[in-house]
Structure formats: structure tokens, C-alpha cells
Structure 1
């Protein structure tokens, strides 16, 4: 793409250079070529980018007073974000639309002519796939699945019947979407467990990314919903009937039980666990290995934005650190003389 095309899509201001300069990709300064874009969001990064071979540098307005000759300079209030979006636009797609000979596609499936279907993929009855979507090798789409435009479903993904996926969604290898939720009714007499009906749906909205080997269950009687812009890491599980709000981040090994909600913009770090019917409010940040008990609600009400919650049960990190300091002090005071420390006046061994 040309710089002018990128600016028309992303905004920004070209303060030096040729608007017709071709951008073939993005790169780190030390690896960049004349047709690569680099970004700089600090003084050190500016120095590195200007000393590199990168033909284009994006940085904050007023970051420097003079620009080196021979480089195209773009100013943006958020250079790292501009760089990330430019990377997606400049990325070359070499896939040729069409259906592999070994793929199995139901006669009544509606596959847009601009779709790529890889080897050994299975497309069920009444499936709909929008223009520009890539279905990689070994993907299985159950009956009635709907996938929007410009999605990328990586190899060996399994999407259960009735699941709906929006536009520009990326699902990485091995993910399973729309499986039955883990819901059972126990017979109080015999102790046997009978599955509660798992006949709801799963909806993945636009611009969602789902990591490798993650799983999201469909609703029991209603719907599980992953809202626009959610980013899910590898090995995450979201249970049935959950509602994950816009632009939420779920980091690896997070587990969310059934009927939970996570508010817009919240961040759940690695190995966070939520019990069933728990609620995390908008903008809440849960540190790694934090826990939310079943039925409990965690919010930022009365706290400063950006407050990190930590521990089980999750509470403000500063509170946890104070508690640990007190416990450590108590433990030291209770340590028996002669066990872990030398009595006063003693010279110790030897």
C-alpha cells in the first residue's frame, strides 16, 4: 500500500516524504528495510528508528524538532496503535479463493465466491460464509453456522451447529466454539447426574480474536455472547450463558464458569477463575491467579480507575500487599527461639 492509502484509512499527518511511497510491511528498526514501517513512542525508540533502514517512521507530534533526510515521517497521537493497524492493512494475502478438492461442502451451504476453503474442511448444511473469509485445513463447521466477511478460521477449529460469527473474526487452531455447557441436575436419591438441556446458541460479534485451543460453550436455554472487540488468549474457557463485554481481554488459562458476566473493557490476567453466576464490572483489572467466588460481584465503584484487583477473593492489590506484610511480621514474631534464628548473645555454630 502507499502512504497516502494508509493515511486515508488510519488518519495521521505526513510531515515529510512522498505520499506515493510503497509500504510492504512493518518491522522492528534493526530488521526494517526501505519499504518497511517502524514506530517510535519514546526518545530511545526515535533514535533507533532514525538510525535504521526503515523508509517510514510513525511518531508522536512534536517528538523531535528535525527529521532526518530520506525518511517518510508520519505523526500520530498513538504511533504504536497506528503501526499495529497499518500492519494489518499492509499484510499481503496470497490466498486464492476457491474450495479444495478434499473439502466436503453440503449442497445447501452458501459459500461466497471470495471464500477460501482448505483441504479436508467440512462445511455442514445451511452454513453461510461471507466474502473474503479463509477456512483453513481440517476445520469443521456444523449445520447452520454463520460466518461473516473477512474472517480467518485456522486449522482444526470445530464450530458447533447454530453458532454465529461476525466480521473480521480470527479463531486460532484447535479452538472449539459452541459445545455443550457443563450443566447437570443431580438426583438426590440415586446421586446420578442428568444433563440439563444445552440447546442455546453462541454469538461471536465483530473483531473478536480467539486463541488456540480455547473453548466457548453455547448457552443452555439462552445464548452465550462474546461482544465486539474481545481478545481471548490461548487455553481460555468460557462457560455457558456467559456475556463477555466489548473490548474485554481474557489471558491464558482463565476459566469462567456458567452464567457469568464480564463488563466492557475489563482485563482478566492469566489463570483467573470465576465461579458460576459471578460478575466482573466494566474496566476491572484482575491480576493473575485471582479468583471471584460464585455469585459475587467485583466492581470499580469507589476506586480509582486502573485499580488492580488480586487474590482470592479478589480485592485491591494494595490491600493484599498490606495483608501479606502483616502476616509475614506475625510469622517472624512467632518463630521459636533456636529454630530459625540464633538466640541473642549466641555466637552460632563454631
Structure 2
């Protein structure tokens, strides 16, 4: 699966955190034994206790959360999921379930593979909910955290089934928040543009998708979904750059699917058009041509029509359908944006009140 972070492309990988202690001995002008040598063991003891405390926290989080992370087999593919409630609902990525309707799920509470059925998939946010046909005793739902409390530098653990290795755990930090990335639609992704993503250095490999990104309070703060690839290296994985859907969006989508069987309020902004990428005389992407406008939508209300070519949303340049989606990703339905477009040889602008996807 490919995707693009703010101006690059995306897939999956890890840079582990490491701690090193360096003891430096100073010599010269100091004769005979002194207090310095005795200080080294004390310092080593402090470091050992600190390391032990961190290891204890890691192990406690793993004991708390890993039983809530499952492996999902969908056709020939494998992915991960998180137990959402005690009724057997499991949240995962839409690209994990694909077009499937039934799945084999392996849970931590037993060796027997369980059957699950699709409740609904929402590819626009790359999320889906499946439900176990029979809920086993002892199934444990995960605890979900607060997106607003996620900060750069927090230590996180990624849990899932990378490369089919079930119940695997990797670690890293929150590298950034509020990233907008776009998945490839041709490499297993849904082609969605995803806003407010959590960037992490924890490994996100094939099979991690749909699993849990967890803080040291044993709370799920995101669903690992993508990891970066470097186009200059032929699409090879870019180590230490992965992305997770924030827990606020996970809750919004999962709660609606469980309650209504579908997403009824996406919270995602739309112009109210269908469009296609157009190129200039040198065959470079140059804008999005409007194929049709939605009757009663924002673009129609602002006077845009079929044949207009959108080149900017506010200050953001628009050259492709993907860049148009990225330009709108941080906006909300009901907000107004300035759309710059060309009609024939004339350059125009319009104030468009955004609708909803």
C-alpha cells in the first residue's frame, strides 16, 4: 500500500528508540584514588533502575492491550484489528477487509479461529467494522484515549500482525501530529486522503494495518494504516515514518457504523463536484477539470460549472485530484473557501460554502 505524506509517498517501517550511557574518565593533575571511581557504580545503578522502570511499563502495556488486538484473514490477505466493545465489534482498516464480507479472526483468548461478518466499510476514511459471529468468553475490549492529549515525543507501541507474525509489538515515538496523507489506490489502499494523521517512528509493516498504536497509559491513540516510501529510492520503505488514523476519527466512524450500520455524518468537507486531473502542454498535471457539479452543492451555488479547471483552494495549489483532496482535508462542512479556477482563457475566483462528502 502506498500513500503520500505532506508532499511525499507512503508505505511501511521502524526506527527503534535506543538509550546509551557513556562513562568518561578524566585524567591528569589527579593523583591517587579519589571519590570519582566510586561514583560510577552509583550512576550505573540509577540508569539500571530507570531502564527497568521503562521495561516494566512496556510490559504492563503489552499485558493490558495485546489481548484486545486480533489478526484478520480476508481472502489471501492478513491484517489486524482492535476489539471495540464486549459485543464482538472489531475496528480495522477498510483496505484490510477489501471487498470481503466474511473473515477469519484469531483472538488472544483462544487458539480457535472465529468467524466474523462485515458490518460496514468506510473507504473514504479507510476504516471498517466487523463483528464476531460468536463472542468468546473473556473477550477484552481496548481502552481508547484522547486525540487532544497526543503530543510529539510521546513513547508509543504499535501492536498487530506484521507479515503474519501475530501479537507482534514494536516501539517508537509520536513524531508529528496533524499530517495529511493520501493512499495509493493501486497498491492495496483505498485511495483516500486522510487528515490529522499521527506520524510515528514505530514500525508499520504489511499486516500491521488495522492494529493499535498505544500510549504508555495502555490507551489506543490511533490505528496504524500507512508507512512512507521514498520515491527517490524506487518506492522503497522510508524507515521510521509511519501514520495512524487518530482515535477521534476511529470513534466517530465506528460509533456510527455500530449504531446505524453506516456512516451518516462524515465530517469531511466537499466542493460538490466530480472532476478529473488535466495536464498542460508539457503533459504535467495542471489542475482539476470539473466534469459535473452536484445540484444544490457548494460549487453549483457559487456558479462553478462543467469545464471549469480548479487551480487553487485558498493558498493551496491544486494540480491533481489528490492535491484537491489534500487541500480540503483540513476544512469542515459549512466553512467557506476561495476557489481559483480558469474558464477558457479567463482566471476567476469564487467563494464556495463547503458541503459534506
TM-score w.r.t. length of structure 2: 0.20
- The structure in which a higher percent of residues are helix is 2
More strand by share: 2
Higher Rg of the two aligned structures: 1
